[in-house]
Structure 1
Amino acid sequence: MSPSARRSARSETRQVAALAWRESEGGLQILMITSRETRRWVIPKGGRMVGKTDPEAAAIEAMEEAGVQGSIKTAAIGVFRYMKRLRGGEERAYLVAVYPLKVLIQLGAWPEQAERERRWMSPEAAAASVHEPDLARLIRDFAAAWSPDPFIG
């Protein structure tokens, strides 16, 4: 294997994700979606986009994959890593920056509606549903730092 092939095999592909949340009467809720292929619970995520900031790209992914729009923070709350098995059998490492998105609009129809399920969960259930320990920790840390919006209610 050439040095450049080894380097690209080791490097992580960078992605962005939205941690979509809302406040309900029961407290904080996190929006989870299923992945298209494995049907595992994940948060909306995708590649970085030319001409868009990372938070803007994360918000676009949330609209396309989960059918939600809202106010996204410009600072990431952290990162998580995961491995994806590609169709050829090889694995690729991903590093995902996560941006909180306060959901203001939930659409009844959205681009990937036929390919995914979406579900609002408590932070505890959301953290327990994911396979990536770093993502579970980010969800728990976000919930621990969250406080109710004094202007709602």
Structure 2
Amino acid sequence: MNSAINRVLRDFVAPMFRRPKGLQVAALCTRGVGDDKEVLLVTSRGTGRWIIPKGWPIRGLASSQAALQEAWEEAGVKDATAEPEPIGSYDYDKTMGSGLPVPIETLVYSVSVNALENDFPEAGQRERRWVSPSEAANLVDEPELKSILNGSAI
């Protein structure tokens, strides 16, 4: 009897109270090749954690171009090319202004960086750092993003 009730709660009742996942786009910014390849990380504004630039989709832009826009705003990436298809995705819970966490799926786009600007919209709000992919994987919190950074897709 308990297992039947648990099954009803798990399969029918609980999904009615789950929030749908939000969608964000992220730029996995790289420079160099082979063993010299580096990944650009920035700190989040709220907690100071190391992340890759990311944000909400932008109406009128392809997702890869929105990721490139986020790379400009958050890290000063100016001269760069974004691949049109994501190289992966990761999930995390974003704490909104209300204090409630919202599940987010983040599509990750590979961005090849040629140049950075020092004067960019969020320059005074974030730190940025070039690191090896393995060091980047050690610095970020999200397990799926760690896998992307440790994988062969970059």
Aligned counterpart for 1:10 among listed residues 9, 12, 19: 19
- CA-based RMSD of the aligned residues comes to 1.8
Aligned counterpart for 1:46 among listed residues 40, 49, 55: 55
User: 1:8, 1:98 → 2: CA distance?
Assistant: 28
Flag structure 2 segments of 5+ consecutive residues without an equivalent: 1-14
1:81 aligns with 2:72: no
Whether the 8 Å contact between 1:9 and 1:92 is mirrored in structure 2 is no
1:90 aligns with 2:100: yes
- Change in 2 beyond 3 A, CA 1:63/1:7: farther
User: 1:123, 1:26 → 2: CA distance?
Assistant: 10
| Distance apart, 1:26 and its partner CA | 5.5
User: Alignment partner of 1:137: what SS?
Assistant: helix
| Distance apart, 1:145 and its partner CA | 4.4
Cα deviation, 1:46-67, whole Å, max 9, x if unaligned, reads 0001000000100000000000
1:20 aligns with 2:29: yes
1:35 aligns with 2:44: yes
Whether the 8 Å contact between 1:128 and 1:136 is mirrored in structure 2 is yes
TM-score (norm 1): 0.85
Flag structure 1 segments of 5+ consecutive residues without an equivalent: 1-5, 147-153
1:102 aligns with 2:112: yes
Amino acid across the alignment from 1:129: L
Amino acid across the alignment from 2:47: T
| Distance apart, 1:43 and its partner CA | 0.3
| Distance apart, 1:88 and its partner CA | 2.6
- Change in 2 beyond 3 A, CA 1:108/1:92: same
TM-score (norm 2): 0.84
Whether the 8 Å contact between 2:64 and 2:84 is mirrored in structure 1 is yes
Name the count of aligned residue pairs: 139
Equivalent residue number for residue 149 of structure 2:
139
Q: Identity over aligned residues, as a percent? A: 37
